[in-house]
Amino acid sequence: MKNIIYLLVFLASFTSFSQQKAIEITNVKTGKVKYFAENQRVKIRTLDGKKLIGNLKFSDSLSFTVNNQSVKIDSLQSIKKQPRTLATVKTVVLITGLAIVGASLIAASGGSDSAFLIFTIGSGVTISAGLLEGLNANNSNRNWKFKIIEK
């Protein structure tokens, strides 16, 4: 019985004291700190111009992988959160807005007086898809310092 209790205490302490890796970003001006944990969906840009979107996985203390592509922390230009639900909503809003703009072109070719109103509504919906992209801030290496830590 004593061994079972020791085993349960060991397993509970193992999970509570285990450390996870994360990317810590610190604002240069304000000192504000943000964390990007493992398996979080992110969108990154590297210094050589690559854009990668996927789940964050850590390979060692100097590099991580996104979408099965290895990236060194030194070559990171920007990072931002990219939740799947927001990406889906943004795509649906964009396609809806473009469909409304297309309907206004069809209405205009038919000589309808309401074509301009339909075009204005479609343009507003399409622009709102672009505004949804700006909900999550882009953390660039101009204003932020990046490092991999164990949390």
pLDDT digits (tens, 9 = 90+) for 96-112: 999 999 999 999 999 88
Asked if 48 and 63 sit in the same domain, the reply is yes
| Same domain for 30 and 74 | yes
Note whether residue 59 is domain-resident: yes
Q: Which domain holds residue 123?
A: 85-133
In this structure, the answer to whether residues 144 and 71 fall within a common structural domain is yes
CB-CB contact of 116 with 107 (8 Å): no
**For the chain, how many structural domains are there in total?**
2
Q: Is residue 7 part of a domain?
A: no
- Long-range interactions of 5-9: CB distance < 8 A, separation 24+: none
The answer to whether position 15 is within a domain reads no
Same domain membership, residue 108 and residue 58: no
pTM: 0.70
pLDDT of residue 138: 82
Average pLDDT value for residue range 62-75: 91
Are 90 and 43 contained in the same domain?
no
Picking from 8-12, 90-94, 139-143, which range would have the lowest pLDDT averaged per residue?
8-12
**pLDDT band per the 50, 70, 90 thresholds, residue 6:** low
Q: From 77, 18, 87, select the one nearest 50 (Cα to Cα).
A: 77
34 and 73 belong to one structural domain: yes
**What is the spatial distance between Cα 31 and Cα 50, in angstroms, rounded to a whole number?**
28
- For residue 12, is it within any domain? no
- Please determine, for residue 4, whether its predicted confidence score (pLDDT) is greater than 70: yes
Residue pair 125/103 in contact by the 8 Å Cβ criterion? no
Q: Does one domain contain both 122 and 144?
A: no
In tens, the pLDDT along 42-53 reads 999 999 989 999
